[in-house]
Structure 1
Amino acid sequence: MADTRNAVGKKAEQNHGPHARMTIEVQGQVEREFVHGPLARGPPDAELGAMTIAQFCTRYNIDRKTLYVLRRDGNGPDVLLIGKKVLIPFRSAAEWEARMTVRREPKPTAETI
C-alpha cells in the first residue's frame, strides 16, 4: 500500500489493486475507509455481505413493487433485518435466483414420440 500524508497530518493508505481500498487516519485513529471495485459490489459468488432492496432490484432489473409482491406471496429472497434496515444477503439472492430460474423441457419431436 502506498502511504502518504497531507498538509493537516492525515495519513492515507491506498491499494490500487482490483479491490481498491483507501484508509484515512487522523492521529492514529481510522477516520474513514473507502472500498471501490468488485469488493464494494460483492463478488458474484459471495458468501458474505448483503445488498439493499434498491441494489437487489437494480441487479435483477425488477421493480420494487414486484419484489414486495414476491415477498408477500412467499417467493422472495430471505432477508436480513438490522433494526429497520432490510438487507438481502448475497447468498439469499443467489438461492432465490436458482429457485426462480425456470428450466424448459425440450419439446417432443416426431423422432422422440
Structure 2
Amino acid sequence: MRYMLLIYNDEAAMANTPRDKVEQTLAAYGAYTEALKKSGAYLAGERLRPTQAATSIRLANGKTNVLDGPYADTKEQLAGFYMIEATDIDTAMEWGARCPAASTGTVEVRPIWEMTDYLS
C-alpha cells in the first residue's frame, strides 16, 4: 500500500536557523532518503517552496477566488512529502518516526486512497 508522509515545519523558525544547523538537517534528510531508497520503500519525495510562493484556489457561488500565499495562518506549514510503499500502517509509521521532521515538526502519515479502490 502507498502512504504519504507529509512533513510540517515552522517556516519562520527554519528561516532563522544558523547555516551549519541547516546543513546538518539537509544531511539528515539525505541519509533518510537514501535509507528509504535502499529499503525499496521510496516512491517519490520533494521539498516544497515556502507558503509565500503558494496560491490557494476556491470556488464559491460559481466564482473562482484566488488567494496568493498561504490560505490559513498556522504554526506549522506543509514543507514537503515522501510517498512510500509499506506493507501496513505500522511500517509506514515507523518510517514517519525516522523522518528528521518528526523531531522538529510533525510528520503526518496518511494512506493513499487508490482510485482503483473507489472505482471498483
Q: Which has the higher strand share?
A: 2
Relative CO higher for 1 or 2, CA cutoff 8 Å, sep ≥ 6? 2
Q: Which has the higher helix share?
A: 2
Same fold by TM-score greater than 0.5: no
- Output the TM-score relative to the length of structure 2: 0.20
- Output the TM-score relative to the length of structure 1: 0.21
Larger radius of gyration: 1
